Chain A
Amino acid sequence: MTDAVPKLAWKGVTKRFDGRAVLDGLDLSVAPGKSLVIIGGSGQGKSVTIKTALGLMRPEAGKIELDGKNVVGLSEGARRKLFSRIGVLFQGAALFDSLTVWENVAFRLINADGVPRKEARERAIEALDQVRLAPAVADRFPSELSGGMQKRAGLARAVVARPEILFFDEPTTGLDPITAAAINQLISDQVRRLGSTAVSITHDLASAQTIGDEIAMLHDGKIIWRGPAAELRTTDNPYVRQFVEGRAEGPISHAV
Chain B
Amino acid sequence: MAEAEAARRVANPLQVLGRSTLAAVRMVGSVGVFAVRGVVAALTPPWFLSQLWRQIVAIGFFSLPVVGLTAIFTGAALALNIFTGGGRFNAEQVMPQIVALGITRELGPVLAALMLAGRVSAAIAAEIGAMRATEQIDAMRTLSTDPFRYLVGPRLLAGVLMLPLLTAVADTIGVAGGWLVATRVLEFNPTVYVRNTLDFLQAWDVVSGLIKAAVFGFIVALMGCYHGYNASGGARGVGRATTHAVVSSAILIFASDYLLTTFFTHAAQ
A residues with a Cβ closer than 8 A to B are 51, 54-56, 76, 79-81, 83-84, 86-88, 90-92, 94-98, 107-108, 111-113, 157
* Chain B interface size, under 10 / 10 to 19 / 20 to 34 / 35 or more: 10 to 19
B135 sits at the interface (CB 8 A): yes
A98 to B135 alpha-carbon distance, docked (Å): 14
| CB-based contact B144/A92 at 8 Å | no
Q: Across the interface, which residues of B come within 8 angstroms of A51, CB to CB?
A: 138
Q: Across the interface, which residues of A come within 8 angstroms of B135, CB to CB?
A: 90-92, 94
| CB-based contact A96/B136 at 8 Å | yes
**Given that A92-B134, A94-B134, A111-B48 are known contacts, is A80 also in contact with B146, CB under 8 Å in the complex?**
yes
**Given that A111-B48, A111-B150 are known contacts, is A94 also in contact with B139, CB under 8 Å in the complex?**
yes
| CB-based contact A108/B146 at 8 Å | no
| CB-based contact B134/A84 at 8 Å | no
**Given that A92-B134, A94-B135, A94-B136 are known contacts, is A86 also in contact with B145, CB under 8 Å in the complex?**
no
B19 sits at the interface (CB 8 A): no
- 4 more contacts with CB within 8 A, not counting A81-B144, A98-B54, A98-B127, are A83-B144, A90-B139, A111-B48, A111-B150
| CB-based contact A83/B142 at 8 Å | yes
Q: Across the interface, which residues of B come within 8 angstroms of A79, CB to CB?
A: 141
| CB-based contact B138/A90 at 8 Å | yes
Give the A-B contact count at a CB cut-off of 8 A: 62
Contact of B146 among A76, A88, A107 (CB under 8 A): A76
> Closest CB-CB distance, A169 to chain B, in whole Å?
8
B143 sits at the interface (CB 8 A): yes
| CB-based contact A108/B138 at 8 Å | no
| CB-based contact A83/B139 at 8 Å | no
Q: Across the interface, which residues of B come within 8 angstroms of A80, CB to CB?
A: 141, 144-146
A92 to B143 alpha-carbon distance, docked (Å): 16
A84 to B142 alpha-carbon distance, docked (Å): 8
Q: Across the interface, which residues of B come within 8 angstroms of A87, CB to CB?
A: 142
Chain B residue, CB-CB nearest to A88: B142
Chain B residue, CB-CB nearest to A85: B144
Interface residues of B in 106-148 (CB under 8 A from A): 127, 130-131, 134-136, 138-146
| CB-based contact A108/B143 at 8 Å | yes
A56 to B141 alpha-carbon distance, docked (Å): 8
A108 to B150 alpha-carbon distance, docked (Å): 12
Q: Across the interface, which residues of A come within 8 angstroms of B142, CB to CB?
A: 54, 56, 83, 86-88
Contact of B144 among A56, A84, A94, A95 (CB under 8 A): A84
Interface string of B142-174 (1 = CB under 8 A from A): 111110001000000000000000000000000
Q: Across the interface, which residues of A come within 8 angstroms of B144, CB to CB?
A: 80-81, 83-84, 108, 111-113
Chain B residue, CB-CB nearest to A55: B141
| CB-based contact A83/B141 at 8 Å | yes
A54 to B141 alpha-carbon distance, docked (Å): 9
A selection of 11 A-B contacts at a CB cut-off of 8 Å is A56-B141, A56-B142, A76-B146, A87-B142, A88-B139, A90-B135, A92-B134, A94-B134, A96-B139, A111-B48, A112-B144
A154 to B19 alpha-carbon distance, docked (Å): 44
> Closest CB-CB distance, B76 to chain A, in whole Å?
38
Q: Across the interface, which residues of A come within 8 angstroms of B143, CB to CB?
A: 83, 107-108, 111-112, 157
A72 to B184 alpha-carbon distance, docked (Å): 71
Closest 8 CB pairs of A and B: A112-B144, A94-B139, A94-B135, A108-B143, A83-B144, A88-B142, A80-B144, A111-B145
> Closest CB-CB distance, B154 to chain A, in whole Å?
12
